[in-house]
């Protein structure tokens, strides 16, 4: 999944001049970025708009990109976070819980799919209700499996601050899902 760092560094340098290299970066990272954007917006139309915006911004700015020790994807996520924030500022997206999950796997039974869909809807609706920074940090961690350092780079925060955001976010989700801590149950 992850490109070898040396290869990626060379690819990014070539992409500053060579459309084909940029195309290769696009092919590699499109899925990641689209998924992240979709997980935050939950709308195919909005996700397509923002994903297109992210890659056009990356194309315009790649000449100024300087490696920071993090994968190139961290930079794309950073652009995505900003674009999503702008999108929310401009217009809060409509939340349609019925379309949260999208296409169910054909290999699962209908019952399984419905059950999973309900569960996912509840869980991600809880994440949606978190404050913006907690939501972003949690999505990048649990939705994208990124390292804390990468999330910090993307969000412009320290690793400690990211830990705090994720921890608070999980507490918030737990509260919203109605899970009572064991200590309270005793």
Partner 1 sequence: MDLTRWNDGTDAELEQLVGGNLELLELGRRLRAARPEPLVDPEFQRRLRAQLMTAAQTQLRPRGLRRLLRPRARIFAYGAAGLGTAMAAAAALAYFAPHSDHLTFVEGVASINGLPSVSPDQVITISFNHPMDRSAVERGLNIQPAIAYTPTWQDNELVITPRHNLQPNTPYVVTIPRNAARDVRGDVASKDITITFGTSPVAPSDPTGRPQGPVALTGHGAGAVGDGSILGFAGDGSLLAGAGLLPPAGGTPPGAGGQAAPAPAPALVRYASDGGTRIGDPVTQIALSPAGHSLATLGAPGVVAVSDMDGSHRPVLSSAADPGSPLAWGGDATHPVVFFLSGGLLTSVDLEHHQRTVSALHLDPGQTVLRIAPGGRYVVVGPAPAARPVTPAPQAPVPPALPGGGLSLPGVNPLGASVGAGPSAGSDTTTDAVPFSGTPGVRIVDLGGGQASPAAPLQPAGLAQNAVPSFSGDGSRVAWLDGSGIDVLTLGGTDPAAHVTLPPLASGDAYTDPVLDATGARVAYALTHTDGSAELRLVRVADATLLATAAVHQPSGLVFSSDGGELGYLQQGSGQTVADVATIPGGPATGSGVPAAANQAIDRLVTAEVAGDRQALDALVAPAVETELLAQLPSGLSRGYVISAAPSSNGDTVTAQVRLLRDPTNDHPTASFTDQTVALQRANNAYIVAQSAIPRALHDEPTGLQVVRVVTTPLPGLTSVQITFDSDLDPSSVTSGVISLPSGLATPAVTYDATSRTVTVSILGRLRHAFDLTVSIGLRDVNGQGLALPFTTTVSPGR
Task: Name the residue nearer to partner 1 (CB basis): 2 or 6.
Answer: 2
Query: What's the closest the beta carbon of residue 158 comes to partner 1, in angstroms?
Result: 14
Query: What's the closest the beta carbon of residue 5 comes to partner 1, in angstroms?
Result: 19
Cβ-in-10-Å burial (0-12, 13-18, 19+) of 150 comes to buried
**61 DSSP assignment:** H
**3 DSSP assignment:** P
Using CB under 8 A as the criterion, which residues of the chain lie in contact with partner 1 when the complex forms? 1, 15-19, 22-23, 26-27, 30-32, 34-35, 38-39, 42, 44, 47-49, 51-52, 55-56, 59-60, 62-63, 86, 89-90, 100-103, 116, 119-120, 123-124, 127, 138, 141-143, 145, 147-148, 163, 166-167, 170-171, 173-174, 177, 179, 181-182
Query: What's the closest the beta carbon of residue 135 comes to partner 1, in angstroms?
Result: 12
- Please, where are the H alpha helices in the chain? 5-15, 19-41, 44-61, 72-90, 110-128, 132-138, 148-155, 159-177, 182-185
Query: What's the closest the beta carbon of residue 171 comes to partner 1, in angstroms?
Result: 8
Task: Name the residue nearer to partner 1 (CB basis): 8 or 142.
Answer: 142
Q: For residue 148, what are the CA distances in angstroms to 9, 28, 37, 78? A: 21, 22, 19, 14
């Amino acid at each position: 999944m992850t490109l070898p760092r040396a290869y990626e560094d060379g690819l990014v340098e070539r992409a500053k001049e060579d459309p084909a290299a940029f195309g290769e970066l696009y092919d590699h990272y499109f899925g990641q970025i689209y998924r992240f954007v979709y997980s935050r917006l939950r709308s195919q139309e909005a996700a397509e708009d923002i994903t297109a915006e992210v890659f056009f911004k990356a194309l315009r700015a790649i000449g100024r990109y300087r490696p920071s020790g993090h994968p190139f994807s961290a930079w794309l996520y950073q652009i995505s976070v900003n674009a999503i924030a702008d999108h929310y500022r401009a217009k809060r997206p409509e939340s349609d819980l019925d379309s949260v999950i999208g296409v169910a796997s054909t290999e699962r039974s209908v019952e399984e799919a419905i059950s999973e869909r309900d569960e996912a809807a509840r869980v991600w609706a809880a994440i949606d209700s978190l404050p913006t920074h907690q939501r972003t940090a949690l999505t990048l961690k649990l939705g994208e499996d990124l390292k804390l350092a990468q999330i910090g780079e993307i969000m412009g925060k320290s690793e400690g601050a990211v830990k705090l955001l994720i921890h608070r976010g999980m507490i918030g989700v737990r509260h919203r899902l109605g899970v009572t801590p064991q200590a309270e149950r005793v």
